[in-house]
Chains A and B, each alone.
Chain A
Amino acid sequence: MRIIILVGVSLFLDLLFNLYISSFINDFSLIAPLFSLVVIVYVYKFFENNLLSYFLISGAIGLVYGIAFTSTGILYLLIYLLIALITAIVASYFKPHFLINLAILVGSIFTYLLITYGLLLLFNVISFNIFNLMFGLISSFLLNIIYLILMSWFDYKTTPKKMYYL
């Protein structure tokens, strides 16, 4: 139930923040939301012993996000599965900790943006523009890191102490 709430709220906020930021803030150079990606990194700890469910959920999030946002569901399904795979591999070497989540998130955002940019360039959907690439990379970290902090804090406060992995 907790996972469904986290995923649902993240997807909802992702859509809402994108609209609000573009509508009411003229310069959004540092605040591009990718909350659906943050939640994939964060919920791994609930699926340490059940990786199949983790990949299924990550793929479902990617599919829904891709179709709702860009009408390219398959692209996001594959990319989010890849991000989930990277998260699972890296996290398996460390004990669950907020700083590990943070490091995985930064790497995941970087990977996600480079792969989407590369694929769209490869299939001639967009034209190459280094400014666009740099802008996309720089704008994607700050807000998402803040969201991870808030989500971790909220989860910590609402979880019984015995169950919490920190």
Chain B
Amino acid sequence: MRKRKKKNFQYSLIIAAILIFIVFVLLISSLNQNKKLNFFEVIIKDGTLSIYEFLSTPFTSPKRDDLDSIAKVRAENDSLKLALAELQKEKSVNYSDAFKHISAKIITRNIGTWYNQVTINKGATDGLKPGMAVMNNDGLVGITKTTSNHFTDVMLITSNQSNLIIPAEILSLNSREFGYIKGYHPEINQLVFNKINHQVDAKIGDYVTTSSISGSLPSGLKIGIISKIIKDEYGIVNRFYVEPVTSNHNMLYVTVLAQ
């Protein structure tokens, strides 16, 4: 009887250990930041968000004033395109934008938890992939993260996610300082710019933009303005606080720069 009880207890322990191991493996695969959505996840995500987008249309449609201003901007854009084409012809210049601009609407956002991200209503069928720059009128807003067929998660630059590193540079009068943006302090609304070398020519008020050596992101997108310079205990400057040029609030439309 005792031996049987002991055996049962051992079997229970083994089963519990296997279950905990399976749960851990599932969690690791679920939380892998570079994972692609599998077939079922794509179906659930597209299905849920499509239904939600349809039902939320009365609440999130642009107002009449916004529609009027969109029409004006569209007309202005058309006339500027014509002017550009004429100038190119005159000056025999061959200009082409390496990045395609895809406009998208933000349909949902997760506040109050640890993911600082939004979901936009464009996905793989529109040419979006992970790692693309997302911007609004002011500057860089985030980087695309996970795409399904019709929707994409965008990780905001004001996110504390460990794997968010944005190659950046400081534009000052005399030089360019290369480095990267990693980290965000929500209590003071400041990004952290880390420099690659220790010489400092930059000063407070200089702009921080995406770097020309980043490869995947277009260069020159505004990220923020230097607001504070941090020196370490040896007096060597290696970090800057950057105030983002974009505001996370009142953000309904963005543009994705697709290569």
Contact = CB atoms under 8 A, between A and B. Distances in A.
Whether A associates with B in a native complex is yes
Interface stretch (B8-16, B51-59, B73-81): B51-59
B173 interface: no
Nearest to B30: A74
Given A113-B113, A116-B113, A123-B28, A20 B48 contact: no
Q: How many B residues are at the interface, by size bracket?
A: 35 or more
Interface of B: 23, 26-31, 33, 37, 41, 44-45, 48-49, 52, 55-56, 59-60, 106-115, 117, 119, 145-146, 153, 160-163, 183, 185-187, 248-252
B44 A25 contact: no
A117 B112 CA distance: 11
Of B48, B163, B186, most buried by chain A (CB within 10 Å of CB) is B48
Interface stretch (A85-93, A133-141, A156-164): A133-141
Interface residues of A, number: 46
A22 interface: yes
Nearest to B43: A67
Contacts of A135: 186
Interface in A82-117: 113, 116-117
Contacts, number: 135
A32 B112 contact: yes
Contacts of B106: 19, 23
Given A73-B41, A126-B161, A129-B160, A25 B33 contact: no
A72 interface: yes
A70 B112 contact: no
Contacts of B110: 18, 69-70
Given A136-B113, A136-B114, A19 B107 contact: yes
A15 interface: yes
A53 interface: no
B60 A19 contact: yes
A68 B113 contact: no
Given A68-B45, A125-B162, 13 more contacts: A16-B52, A16-B108, A20-B59, A23-B252, A28-B111, A32-B112, A74-B30, A113-B113, A117-B114, A120-B31, A123-B27, A123-B28, A125-B33
A43 interface: no
A151 interface: no
Interface in A29-76: 32-34, 63-64, 67-75
B249 A63 contact: no
- 9 smallest A-B Cβ distances: which pairs? A32-B112, A74-B30, A71-B146, A68-B48, A123-B31, A15-B108, A74-B26, A22-B109, A67-B44
6 contacts: A11-B48, A15-B52, A68-B119, A75-B27, A126-B160, A139-B112
A78 B161 CA distance: 22
B109 A75 contact: no
